[in-house]
């Protein structure tokens, strides 16, 4: 079933819907924005209308609505994580990627389990609690078991104050049985990007290896969810094709998952093409996305799927990341390295792509906190079983904030107490005090209780 044509990505319908809604009146746009403010999501025609916005006044209204929805659902909270690249071996030939098989200008590494443990220890000592494990589509002699062993290695590392509490993975599409095996290892989210939903472009930029098979890749999340992984992440690589088409096709993918499994993706990532070693197309995207259009993409996605997390990586500059916090971004990577072994000894030329934000974790946290956002390392929902439909059942009526707010504050206090520089600790403690003072009822009681337990020397407290 899962390697037949993916009819749910209907390109003709995408173009027809975009054409039909290409010149909306301001009244039509405001009608969609009013609907979006109700936080029930948007349909394909609604999204098409929002992609057509170019007038500065209408853009401002789009951004303001996105900000209201973001803060109503998520509050002033940003989840932090780090990618952990374990291998840049790859059998695919993706023209935009430095890891592609024929690229001789990077050094190839597949980390040993001992090296993965050392990389994990570096991240723990920085204060990280969740990682995204990443590997190219080719493994050492042990094959797929290498991924399973790597997950175990990350979870095995513990020290006085820390351990990785959630391992998410971004690896090549798996079979249902293989997905069941990674679920049994205790992963959080399985993440995979289609890169582009436009079939002709997909074939042009994926010229060798298993990844040439569009259908096998686009059905991957069906297989993951059938295997019982109910937190999945999707995304496209913006710049390969028309961003309007990509948003619309991604929405078709989301609607398909919601129809089949009762819940859509847990996260959406919005990577924009950046230079990669020995890749001309990466330096000259076929469909470059301007900064204003990039902000628009984030805002539209926040309104279209209000309860789905939006991830912003360190591909983008610190300024762009700051700008998108208010528009819908709810998760960010920090202190990232995209080359295997990069945390212990950096070799940037072996990375997958160029980074725009090179700041260490402590500096990112200080910056985020100075803007009034709570950096959260919370992994409670995953560990309490609040995933998939159970998470959405709490999120949609707003009840999840009674957990996420207090847990975010306690995890931030844990970071400040165990890892932060004095300057960051001072800014962070002041923000925690001000945030708790602004809470009421159950949320305030829980936050005070959890933060006080951390102050008393307890780690890993949550509700």
Q: What's the number of CA atoms in the CB half-sphere (13 Å) around residue 96? A: 25
**C-beta separation of 245 from 198 below 8 A:** yes
Would you write out the chain's pLDDT as a tens digit for each of its 463 residues? 667 889 999 999 999 999 999 999 999 999 999 999 999 999 999 999 999 999 999 999 999 999 999 999 888 999 999 999 999 999 999 999 999 999 998 889 899 999 999 999 999 999 999 999 999 998 888 899 999 999 999 999 999 878 999 999 999 999 999 999 999 999 999 999 999 999 999 999 999 999 999 999 999 999 999 999 999 999 999 999 999 999 999 999 999 999 999 999 999 999 999 888 888 898 999 999 999 999 999 999 999 999 999 999 988 999 999 999 999 999 999 999 988 999 988 655 555 556 778 899 999 999 999 999 999 998 777 676 766 666 666 566 556 666 788 888 999 999 999 999 999 999 999 999 999 999 899 889 998 999 999 899 888 888 7
- Number of CB atoms found within 10 A of residue 118's CB: 17
DSSP alpha helix (H) spans, 127-169 = 145-156
CA separation, residue 274 to residues 97, 297, 354, 445 (Å): 10, 17, 6, 45
In the chain, what are the domains? 71-358 (3.20.20.70), 380-456 (no CATH)
DSSP code, position 195: B
Sign of CA dihedral 200, 202, 204, 210: negative
DSSP code, position 284: S
Structure tokens at 35: 């609907």
Q: CA torsion angle for 215, 218, 221, 224 (degrees, to 10)?
A: 30
């Amino acid at each position: 079933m899962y390697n037949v044509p993916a009819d749910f990505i209907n390109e003709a319908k995408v173009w027809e819907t975009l054409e039909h809604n290409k010149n909306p009146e301001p009244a039509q746009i405001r009608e969609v924005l009013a609907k979006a403010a109700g936080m029930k999501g948007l349909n394909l025609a609604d999204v098409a209308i929002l992609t057509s916005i170019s007038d500065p006044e209408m853009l401002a209204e789009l951004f303001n609505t996105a900000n209201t929805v973001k803060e109503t659902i998520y509050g002033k909270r940003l989840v932090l994580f780090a990618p952990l690249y374990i291998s840049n071996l790859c059998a695919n030939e993706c023209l935009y990627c430095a890891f592609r098989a024929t690229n001789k200008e990077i050094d190839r590494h597949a980390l040993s389990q001992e090296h993965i443990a050392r990389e994990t220890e570096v991240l723990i000592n920085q204060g990280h609690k969740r990682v995204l494990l990443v590997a190219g589509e080719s493994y050492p002699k042990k094959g797929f078991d290498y991924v399973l062993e790597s997950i175990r290695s990350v979870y095995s590392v513990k020290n006085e104050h820390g351990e990785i509490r959630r391992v998410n993975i971004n690896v090549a599409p798996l079979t249902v049985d293989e997905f069941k095996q990674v679920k049994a290892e205790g992963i959080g989210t399985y993440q995979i990007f289609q890169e582009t939903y436009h079939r002709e472009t997909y074939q042009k930029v994926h010229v060798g290896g298993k990844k040439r098979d569009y259908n096998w890749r686009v059905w991957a999340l069906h297989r993951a969810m059938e295997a019982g992984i109910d937190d999945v992440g999707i995304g496209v690589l913006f710049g390969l094709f028309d961003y309007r088409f990509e948003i619309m096709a991604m929405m078709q993918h989301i609607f398909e998952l919601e129809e089949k499994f009762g819940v859509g993706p847990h996260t959406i990532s919005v990577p924009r093409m950046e230079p990669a070693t020995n890749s001309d197309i990466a330096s000259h995207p076929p469909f470059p996305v301007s900064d204003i259009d990039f902000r628009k993409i984030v805002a539209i996605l926040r309104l279209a799927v209000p309860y789905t997390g939006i991830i912003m990586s360190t591909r983008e500059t610190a300024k762009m990341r700051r700008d998108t916090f208010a528009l819908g971004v709810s998760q960010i990577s920090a202190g990232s390295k995209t080359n295997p072994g990069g945390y212990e000894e950096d070799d940037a030329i072996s990375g997958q792509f160029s980074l725009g934000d090179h700041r260490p974790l402590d500096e990112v946290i200080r910056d985020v906190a100075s803007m009034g956002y709570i950096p959260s390392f919370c992994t409670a929902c995953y560990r309490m079983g609040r995933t998939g439909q159970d998470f959405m059942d709490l999120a949609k009526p707003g009840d999840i904030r009674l957990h996420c707010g207090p847990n975010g504050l306690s995890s931030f206090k844990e970071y400040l107490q165990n890892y932060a520089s004095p300057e960051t600790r001072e800014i962070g403690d002041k923000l925690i005090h001000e945030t708790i003072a602004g809470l009421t009822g159950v949320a305030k009681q829980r936050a005070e209780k959890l933060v006080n337990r951390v102050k008393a020397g307890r780690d890993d407290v949550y509700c």
